[in-house]
Chain A
């Protein structure tokens, strides 16, 4: 009996001593490598943090996309910091869209005002014009010619102002389609027939634009050149993957240096200019609405350079 007890005791002692040894081993391992352990746990924590941050970032990006595309997004429930952020973003989205709506409403109102005003103006102008012409039929009075001339000026101004107001109200529904540049230029040549245009295009390309507005912009520029000096015009087109460049060049004396900085300003008219001073301003607004830009300089004549993005590349305008 005593032998079995002794054996049992021995077994227990053995187990206890093995366990103790292991513990001591681990302890001494840890103590001697505490620095390494520290680093490993830090790295583990770091990776966990990054994963968490990435998740939060993705959520934020999703919210931003939803705001841009005017969709709804879901809020994170709970009391965490993420939940608080999520609620704030939701409110922000709501406010942003409310103000967008208010702006659109104002712009529509503005467009209506413009239409009303131009309608109101056109009626008396028509009346005055006809009566003046009738008077001139009876009596070729110099003063009557002067009145007729001023009425024509008012008419041009009203038309141009109507165009500008429309452009500035950002309410135009542009209709972008592909057109042959050659055909657009043909139409411009027809409109400006009375100025005897000679326009030479170096290369025909397909252009994505709103026909009506783009023709108006080009026409204003070409008219500007032709009214100053009646020389042939060359249009050079250069294309690459991202941009389309158009240079319209005449063979005249070019711009006066003092005019260059103000060419595209509203109502700026150079000397001896018969126009309203709005043609180039309107052209610039239209080109910018096509996401391009325009500049002018002298190079063997007056040059207008228009740069447009290749719209085929853009997915969203």
Chain B
């Protein structure tokens, strides 16, 4: 059973989230402030739901502090739809985010996504109906090989390795620049993603990759 830490200063929200998660067989701890959070981290935690606005500090800097010592995924609960704040949070180590007000289904989907570890055997990822061989740079869908360029393969790999984690535009642009060796335009990223999507097609009528406008992309499991 997975243990989740909820860091949220509004008691009403924190308590209802606790009930909701316990109904789904998670073990839940709650902390209402930055100080309490650091104390709770002495025990093992699988995932943290972190409110960006805390009474005694900023959620983003707390996230950075936590990620210096621990590796568990952190999902921001954000009241602001402000992309700047969200991107900043993600760049400081956050894995995912949900905007308030959110529903139970949405939050639970994000939690499951971020807790799921993608199976990797000797450099090969198995996910949905895809087989991604990072050593041979090949991708198979339904056992048929797909044609991908170096850049689109790198993007696919990054997204799959993130398994639900949000990859910011800046991060992906840097990835492309590392391959091409020169500065790349914003539009180029969008173009490559489009090509990747076209090549991958759909899985059970759903798209593999989700666009978060102004923020980035994530693998939609």
Are A186 and B79 neighbours in the complex by a CB distance under 8 Å?
A: no
Residues of A within 8 A of B214 (CB): 211-212
A137, B105: Cα distance in complex, Å:
12
**CB < 8 Å: which of A118, A159, A187 contacts B213?**
A187
With A133-B103, A137-B23, A155-B101 as contacts: A127 and B13 at CB distance below 8 Å: yes
A126-B13, A215-B213 known; A177 vs B104 contact (CB < 8 Å): no
Binary contact readout B6-41 vs A (1 if CB under 8 angstroms, 0 otherwise): 000010110011011001000000000000000000
Give A100-116 as 1s and 0s: 1 = Cβ < 8 Å from B's Cβ atoms. 00000000000000010
How far apart sit A193 and B53, CA to CA, in the bound complex (Å)? 32
Q: Are B10 and A127 in contact (CB under 8 A)?
A: yes
B201-221 residues at the A interface, CB under 8 angstroms: 207, 211, 213-214
Which residues of chain B come closer than 8 Å to A33, judged between CB atoms?
Answer: none
Q: Which residues of B contact A122 (CB under 8 A)?
A: 79, 100-101
In the complex where A130-B13, A186-B194 touch, is A125 in contact with B101 (Cβ < 8 A)?
yes
Task: Establish whether residues B80 and A119, one from each chain, have CB atoms under 8 Å apart when the complex forms.
Answer: yes
Q: How far is the CB of A66 from chain B (nearest CB, A)?
A: 35
- Tell me the bound Cα distance from A144 to B53 in angstroms: 30
Name the residue on A nearest B13 (C-beta).
A127
The reply to whether the CB of A180 lies closer than 8 angstroms to some CB of chain B is yes
One digit per residue, 1 when the CB lies within 8 angstroms of any chain A CB and 0 when it does not, for chain B 72-86 equals 000000011101000
Shortest distance in angstroms between A138's beta carbon and chain B's nearest beta carbon? 9
Q: Which residues of B contact A125 (CB under 8 A)?
A: 100-101
Q: For the complex, what is the distance from the CA of A129 to the CA of B187, rounded to whole Å? A: 38
User: A119-B80, A130-B17, A183-B194 are known contacts. Are A212 and B213 too (CB-CB below 8 A)?
Assistant: yes
Q: Is B102 interfacial (CB-CB < 8 Å)?
A: yes
Evaluate contact between B101 and A126: CB separation under 8 angstroms.
Answer: yes
B150 adjacent to chain A (CB < 8 Å): no
CA distance A215 to B102 in the complex (A): 23
Contact between B16 and A130, CB atoms less than 8 A apart: yes
Q: Is B186 in contact with chain A by the CB < 8 A criterion?
A: yes
Closest-CB distance, B120 to chain A (whole angstroms): 29
Total A-B Cβ pairs within 8 A? 68
B76, chain A: closest CB distance, angstroms: 14
> B103 contacts which chain A residues (CB < 8 A)?
129-130, 133
Find out whether the CB atom of A115 lies under 8 angstroms from the CB atom of B10: no
User: What is the distance, in angstroms, from B195's C-beta to the closest C-beta of chain A?
Assistant: 12
Closest residue on chain B to residue A151 by CB atoms: B101
A28 part of interface (Cβ distance < 8 Å)? no
Contact A134 B19 (CB under 8 A): yes
Closest A residue, CB atoms, query B99:
A122
Q: Which residues of B contact A137 (CB under 8 A)?
A: 23
Q: Give the complex CA separation of A133 and B103 in angstroms.
A: 8
Task: Give residues in B with beta carbon < 8 Å to A.
Answer: 10, 12-13, 16-17, 19-20, 23, 53, 79-81, 83, 100-105, 186-187, 190-191, 194, 207, 211, 213-214
**17 CB-based A-B contacts, threshold 8 Å:** A119-B80, A123-B13, A123-B79, A125-B100, A126-B101, A129-B101, A130-B16, A130-B20, A130-B104, A133-B103, A134-B16, A178-B187, A187-B211, A190-B211, A211-B213, A212-B83, A212-B214
Q: Which 9 A-B pairs have the closest CB atoms?
A: A126-B101, A127-B12, A130-B16, A125-B101, A126-B100, A133-B104, A122-B100, A127-B13, A119-B79
